[in-house]
Amino acid sequence: MPNVKVLAKREEAQVRFTGGHSLCAGCAEPMVVRTVLNAIEEPVVVANATGCLEVATSRYPTTAWNVPWIHSAFENAAATIAGVEAAYKALRRAGKIQKRIRFVAFGGDGGTYDIGLQALSGALERGHDFLYICLNNEAYMNTGVQRSSATPKCASATTSPAGKAVPGKPQDRKDLTEIVAAHNVPYVAQASVSHLIDLAGKVERAMKYEGPKLINVLSTCPLGWRTRRDSAIPMAKLAVDTCYWPLYEVAEGVYKINYKPKEKLPIEEWLKPQGRFRHLFKSEEGKKLIAELQEAVDRNWQRLLRKEQCSQEG
């Protein structure tokens, strides 16, 4: 695991992501971004898809970025960073650059799970050497809390509002981490803002591999989740402790669960503090839906445990 003092010294030596941005009070994204960048020793070039992070950190004439930074459209951050990485390799072959440079893309779940999936899949398949960080706050928060394919089932969003006809989003969320793992990339992982040392360790391990890497990070949004502004860390921790959001990695095809709760909490404890699930606690039908959500979490957790056992035995 990375040393906290070492990470702090890196921050003191070069502040790669500064304060003074206009991200919402209680937003988890600044903690994730700073942790990721501090965990990388070499110089970094960043591509940033349109979204909360981009909008709130780059308003002219100011910037929160102290590294080379490129703003991409919603759908093409992976293509942009792949192009920069390809240009860098060409310059190295020509002897015009000697130093090692790392390439990181940041995108939200809308720009990753949905409209950016084709660019991401293409970059993964071509084998570009970069790290993609999905800042997963489970909806299109920047444009009005519309549902994305990362939004959990039954969550109320502006385009899937809970009412008499539909109890929130009717579909299950997409499993992006497993979709990326199916591309047979060297490294893919799930992390959470509630476990920043785990996140830093995953970034360090990812950087040991040549080729495409992705870390899907649960990043609390108090505005969209309708929780307290000081709830980012405890809400994300509840997601991990209920096994709704397991912390695991797949390195060269081998699964490893990084955290197994001593006492697996019921999913209700994660749902109840969130306004987007408030409707589930007002009726008997809501109780049935909570039971279904619990069954899904239990089923997915058992499946992950089996994957870990099978891949490590094989």
Please give the distance of CA 66 from its chain centroid, rounded to a whole number: 22
CB atoms within 10 A of CB 178: 16
Supply the mean pLDDT for the chain: 95
Confidence (pLDDT) at 313: 81
Task: Give the model's confidence band at 304: pLDDT under 50 very low, under 70 low, under 90 confident, else very high.
Answer: very high
Confidence (pLDDT) at 14: 74
pTM: 0.96
In whole angstroms, what is the distance from residue 94 CA to residue 88 CA?
Answer: 10
Confidence (pLDDT) at 12: 55
Task: Give the model's confidence band at 4: pLDDT under 50 very low, under 70 low, under 90 confident, else very high.
Answer: low
Q: Which long-range contacts (CB under 8 A, 24 or more apart) does 3-6 make?
A: 4/197
Domain range annotation of the chain:
4-313
> In Å, what is the CA distance from 64 to each residue of 20, 21, 22, 96, 113?
7, 6, 9, 29, 26
Strands (E), 128-273: 131-136, 187-192, 213-218, 248-251, 254-257
> In Å, what is the CA distance from 113 to each residue of 70, 161, 259?
20, 20, 24
The predicted-structure confidence for 100-142, as pLDDT tens digits, reads as follows 999 999 999 999 999 999 999 999 999 999 999 999 999 999 9
Confidence (pLDDT) at 2: 73
Fold topology of 4-313:
Rossmann fold (3.40.50)
